[in-house]
Amino acid sequence: MRAYRVSDFDSPPALVEIETPAPGKGEVLIEIAACGLNFADLLMIKGQYQDTPPPPFTLGMEIAGTVRGLGQGVNGPAIGARVAVFAGQGGLAEFGCFSAARCIEIPDQMPFEDAAGFLIAYGTSHLALDHRARLQPGERLLVLGAAGGVGLTAVEIGARMGAEVIACARGVEKLAVAKAAGATHLIDSESSDLRAEVKALGGADVVYDAVGGDQFTAAMRATNPEGRILTIGFASGEVPKIPANHLLVKNISVIGLYWGGYMGFAPETLTGSLATLFDLYRDGGLRPHIGARFPLAEAGDALALLKARKSTGKVVVTP
């Protein structure tokens, strides 16, 4: 089978032919229909992500597809089941073996492409806004990187939770996507004074930051007393240094959110959140935005688009 692999951290990943794996104990073999890309995939190429496996390994953290084989001790999901998996690796391939415990059966009406970009993006935003920040109806939510893979879901979920959403993104086209997802106010990160514009709107009660860098600093200065700042990621490449004295004076909180970590210390919190999200999808309440689709042979181009921050919503590769 074909797989897009990292051979070592000093060489670019490449599409190679490897043996189709057989499922081990507790695993299922999945024929992969779609793989959703994430910023973490870019970090893994250089070994900079916290959960990077030792090379060689196949890129691709989240997948959707059909179960084709069961390993020892696996009673379900059944062969033929349509599932999504937060795999951590192995998604940019035609087949993969993954823990049966991580498989989530997807609604019949959900296309594989939607499912492949659903778990991390929607799961991150729902846990961040509902479980961590306790976002309340009527609060003002500022979303940085609002047209990206996770940012756009934060706009959508925040609006559903009754927040007044301020979307900050680069350029008119990206802002239009954020508006369609439910944003009330739009700020162009290329041409605007973020702090001044947010302050003019009354300040932010909750900040959802997947960007970091200068935008974090500006957003913090525009956060209201008792506001909460969610650190989701650092797409700018710059991890901000947080002045603790500012937090003290303004009575604001900075809250970290690593979605995958919940699998280790509170899996029931994560699975409960996903159950809520799938129910919303079945009811037509969530509409995943797939900004770009690539075949497996063009996985490198898909990652380059993600790295250039020119995509909107999710970038999906279809083996």
Secondary structure (H, E, C), 223-252: EEEEEEEEECCCCCCCCCCCCHHHHHHHCC
Which residues, other chains included, contact 40 with Cβ-Cβ below 8 Å and sequence gap of 6+? 49, 51, 61
* Residue 15: pLDDT over 90: yes
pLDDT in tens, 26-85: 999 999 999 999 999 999 999 999 899 999 999 999 999 999 999 999 998 999 999 999
Give the pLDDT band (50/70/90) at residue 309: confident
**Distance of alpha carbon 198 from alpha carbon 142, whole angstroms:** 8
Q: What pLDDT shows up at residue 149? A: 93
Report phi then psi at 278, rounded to 5.
-65, -35
Give me the percent of the chain exceeding a pLDDT of 70.
Answer: 100
pLDDT in tens, 164-196: 999 999 999 999 999 999 999 999 998 889 999
Q: What pLDDT shows up at residue 191? A: 84
**Distance of alpha carbon 157 from alpha carbon 181, whole angstroms:** 9
- What is the pTM assigned to this prediction? 0.91
Q: What pLDDT shows up at residue 304? A: 97
* Residue 212: pLDDT over 90: yes
pLDDT in tens, 232-248: 999 898 999 999 999 99
pLDDT in tens, 254-297: 999 999 899 889 989 998 999 999 999 999 889 999 999 999 99
Q: What pLDDT shows up at residue 192? A: 85
Domains of the chain, each with CATH number or no CATH: 2-118+288-318 (3.90.180.10), 121-260 (3.40.50.720)
Instruction: Supply angle C-alpha 85, 125, 58, rounded to 5.
Output: 35
Mean pLDDT over all residues of the chain? 96
Please compute, for residue 301, the number of CA atoms within 13 A of its CA located in the half-sphere on the CB side. Answer: 8
* 41, 28 Cβ separation under 8 angstroms: no
Give me the percent of the chain exceeding a pLDDT of 90.
Answer: 94
